[in-house]
A and B are shown apart, each in its own frame.
Chain A
Amino acid sequence: MVRREQLSSRLGWAALALALALLVLSSLYLAADAEGLGQRYAYLYPYVFGLAAAALLTLSAAIVLRLWRLARDVRAGVPGARLSRRLLLILLLLALPPVGLVYAFGARFIAATVDTWLTANTAEAMDEALAIGRLYLDDQLKAAEADVQRASAQLADVADGELAVALESALDASRASQFAVYSDGRLRAIAAADPASTRNAPPSEDMQLALNARGRYADTEVVEQVLRLRVLRTIEGSPRGRVLQGIFALPADYAQRLTTVEAAAAAVGQANYLRDALKLTFQLILTLVLLVSVLLAILLAFDVARRVVDPIARLAAANREVAEGRFDARLADNRDDELGMLAKSFNRMVDDLQRASAQARASAEDTERQRAFLQTVLARLSSGVLVVDADGGLRSSNAAAASVLGCQIDALIGQPLLRLSEQVPALSPLVDTLLHRLREGVREFREEILLPRDEGRQQLLLRGARLPDEGLVAVFDDTTEIDRARRDAAWAEVAKRLAHEVKNPLTPIQLAAERLRRRVMPTLAAAEAEVVDRATHTIVAQVEALKTMVNAFSDYAKPPPLARLALDINALVAEVVELYIGDPRLQLSAQLATDLPKLVADGGRLRQVLHNLIKNAQEAAAERAGVHIEISTCVRFGTGNQWVELSVADDGPGLPEGFDAAWYEPYRTTKIKGTGLGLAIVRKIAEEHGGQLRAETRRSGGARFSLRLPVQLT
């Protein structure tokens, strides 16, 4: 392909060189022809013009083709094209005006020179010289006619036999170089003054006709480049119509000068006539030379522009490749000029860039590997990780962070951390703490954060450290369950100690009190007996209460295993409601949803839940009788699960102010009576079933406790 392009390029240049040579040869031919090349090469004239036109067309086409390519390259943004265009314009601006100036001057010079060749005086002088020549010839003709007339008179009555002698005699008496007598178209006698004049020169038909018309003929003629006079006259009275012809040679010096004058006059006349044509011819030659110069200048301008711009274009193209990250580009640096130095410098620069790029690439790959390693570690961490930049923007997070915080935190990457608290207000304590620590500039910190969630408080253990770029990395764990388990374990220990330390003495106390009643009270007076009776009654009653409380704690601390069975929750509710019918302290109503899915749950525990919630509602209403309690069931969907919700709502005072998850812990109660275990047990049963317990204050007044049990887990 490259060889074909080279061959095509060489052929193109050969064609251009041939065209230029043809133009030059055409100009030379025309110049030589104008100088008088002669008839020998005159037939070449049309061919020269045709070849010159073809050469002009070829060169013009080559230039148009180059212009078109240049315009195409400029449009396509080929490196160096614009520089080539600019350089070409500059070169043409430098070359064309002088050429045009020379052409204008040359044309003017030709016109002026041709005009000066032939002045008006020259033509007039030639005319005068011709007029003198004509006068001389006229005189010579008259003299010749007179000689012929005399000779004719002498020969009038001469017999044929004496004609030759008489003719010689007449010739001797005249200045003629030859006398000849013709009759009937035939030569009868001839006499010559010298041997060179003996050649017979009979009159032509035209001369005969003139002679017949006017009786005489006299005129000049040129024979073998020699001017001479010929006179014909009919010899009067001669037999058979003799005609006397006299030929008169002009004196040699006169004849030569007359010939010279005539030739000069003819040349002047021709030159005068050819003046405009001569100018046109010279201007044509000049135009051809000009075209050769202009076309050659344009072609050379293209070539010079190409030679100058090509290295720069290659440099620009290589530079573009390097800018695009391809470092294979190298320039030929075999020139010994500044461009060669530039190419060497460029190659060294590309070498350095290539090495630096390889190092950077290796470093980037290493960094990427480390980042991938870190991402993998972060993704597998159970702890949530947040990275905050120095400006408080969220830079990075892991999957555990989204899971712990319960939001799509990835969508906030790159945004201010405050957007997190705007979207999830419950996360404000975490966000505020992080931003506060960021502003404080502490190196490390550790603290617990409580997030107010709908389902209760979420406890986070937050640890943070300052990053080298003044950002912050925060690692947090959801310790809600751990904390709850720890509390449960503590309460279980309390319950166990209560059972051990408190329950054991209760029976002897109760027995002692009963023994007092049975043995001592009958021996006492009525008043003392009444006191003992009340006291022992109180002791027994309180011991029973203590036993009940201790048993409750025991059950809370060590519940029996779950007995899960398929359960109709509506039926369970109906059974419990049935137990409270007729109780004047409360009014129960049930709103049970149909088509509830079956649950697999411990019916006894759920029955306890209902009893505890009803009791809680009843106790919350305190002294008010006839508290209205509404029990409802329904199906809920959320967090990817189907739930059966069991709600117990009352019309009491509602939840106490500041109610939160801590209220589900043992011994958190506002009631005068009660163990403080009711809600704790309900929550524990909910957790045993994988469910949730929610509490809220109703808009219409009163509190609502909702137990959600997952369908798929039961």
Chain B
Amino acid sequence: MLEALDAGIALRFNYSIKACDDSRLAASAIELSYSALTRRYALRGGDGEQRYFGRRSSLLAALDRIRLPLSDLASLQCAGVVVLALDLSALPTPLRLPALLLPAEWQLISPPFAWSAASN
């Protein structure tokens, strides 16, 4: 997958935020890309902000600090879950078949992460 990123293929991760009653409160995406001209990695957040990294490790490290649009949910007094998954449909067509046939490599879905408005 990282080879695909280095080959200039953008990787889009969708995250969905579900609240107390399992209703979907928000959904957005982040996108990782690599620019061969500037030799930089770019991370586009859900708010459209784009950050650049000279090394891939920096990009991956930056993924630990993703800002999620939870400000509207602060008033909720219950716990919810956040799930992040690689969007296979955003891959180029030729990659969809390997992604379908090799789920161990391409089916990237995070375990549900519980959150609570109080802790935010």
Residues of A that sit less than 8 Å from B by CB: 33-34, 36-37, 39, 42-43, 45-46, 49, 130, 133-134, 137, 204, 206, 219-222, 258, 261-262, 265-267, 269-270, 272-274, 277-278, 280-281, 284
Contact = CB atoms under 8 A, between A and B. Distances in A.
B24 interface: no
B37 A134 contact: yes
Contact of A281 (B7, B88, B93): B93
Contacts of B3: 273
Interface string B29-51: 00000011111100000000111
B37 A137 contact: yes
Contact of B89 (A42, A133, A272): A42
A222 to B, nearest CB: 8
25 contacts: A36-B93, A37-B93, A42-B90, A42-B96, A45-B88, A45-B89, A137-B38, A204-B49, A219-B40, A220-B38, A222-B35, A258-B37, A261-B37, A266-B8, A267-B8, A270-B8, A272-B7, A273-B4, A274-B95, A277-B98, A280-B97, A280-B98, A281-B93, A281-B94, A281-B96
Contacts of B97: 277, 280-281, 284
A464 to B, nearest CB: 101
Contacts of B8: 265-267, 269-270, 273
A261 B38 CA distance: 12
Nearest to B62: A206
Contacts of B90: 39, 42
A435 B37 CA distance: 126
B95 A266 contact: no
Question: Top 3 nearest A-B pairs by Cβ distance?
Answer: A42-B89, A273-B7, A277-B94
A465 to B, nearest CB: 100
B65 to A, nearest CB: 11
B36 A278 contact: no
Contacts of A137: 37-38
B57 to A, nearest CB: 15
Contacts of B35: 222, 262, 266
Contacts of B94: 34, 274, 277-278, 280-281
A482 B38 CA distance: 147
A270 B36 contact: no
Contacts of A266: 8, 35-36
Given A262-B36, A273-B4, A206 B96 contact: no
Nearest to A265: B36
A56 to B, nearest CB: 16
B82 to A, nearest CB: 21
B52 A219 contact: yes
B43 to A, nearest CB: 10
Interface in B78-113: 88-90, 92-98, 100
A281 B94 CA distance: 6
Given A46-B100, A269-B8, A274 B92 contact: yes
B116 to A, nearest CB: 27
B98 to A, nearest CB: 5
Interface in B1-45: 3-4, 7-9, 35-40
Contacts of B95: 274, 277
Contacts of A267: 8
Most buried by A among B7, B9, B98: B7
Contacts of A265: 8, 36-37
B33 to A, nearest CB: 9
Contacts of B37: 130, 133-134, 137, 258, 261-262, 265
A273 to B, nearest CB: 3
A204 B9 contact: no
A362 B42 CA distance: 105
B7 A206 contact: no
B51 A34 contact: no
B93 A43 contact: no
Given A34-B94, A134-B38, 11 more contacts: A33-B96, A39-B89, A42-B88, A45-B88, A204-B49, A219-B38, A221-B50, A222-B50, A266-B35, A274-B9, A277-B94
A262 to B, nearest CB: 4
Nearest to A204: B51
Contact of B36 (A269, A277, A280, A281): A269
B5 to A, nearest CB: 10
A204 to B, nearest CB: 7
A280 B98 CA distance: 9
Contact of B7 (A34, A39, A45, A270): A270
Contacts of A220: 38
Nearest to A268: B8
A130 B36 CA distance: 7
A134 B37 CA distance: 6
Given A270-B92, A273-B7, A134 B39 contact: yes
Contact of A221 (B9, B52, B93): B52
Contacts of B4: 273
Nearest to B39: A134
A33 B7 CA distance: 21
Nearest to A136: B37
Most buried by B among A37, A272, A281: A281
B100 A206 contact: no
A134 B94 CA distance: 30
A272 B49 CA distance: 30
A45 B98 contact: no
Contacts of B89: 39, 42-43, 45
Nearest to A278: B94
B42 to A, nearest CB: 8
Contact of A49 (B49, B98, B100): B100
A49 B96 CA distance: 11
Contacts of A280: 94, 97-98
A133 B3 CA distance: 23
A273 B98 CA distance: 13
Contacts of A49: 100
A369 B8 CA distance: 105
Contacts of B40: 219
A45 B96 contact: yes
A258 B98 CA distance: 32
Contacts of A37: 93
Nearest to A221: B52
A183 B30 CA distance: 31
A44 to B, nearest CB: 9
Most buried by B among A206, A266, A272, A280: A266
A293 to B, nearest CB: 21
Nearest to B51: A206
Given A46-B100, A204-B51, A280-B98, A34 B38 contact: no
A34 B93 CA distance: 6
Contacts of B51: 204, 206
Contacts of B100: 45-46, 49
A206 B36 contact: no
A272 B8 CA distance: 10
B32 to A, nearest CB: 14
A220 B38 CA distance: 7
A134 to B, nearest CB: 7
Nearest to B35: A262
Nearest to B34: A266
A659 to B, nearest CB: 118
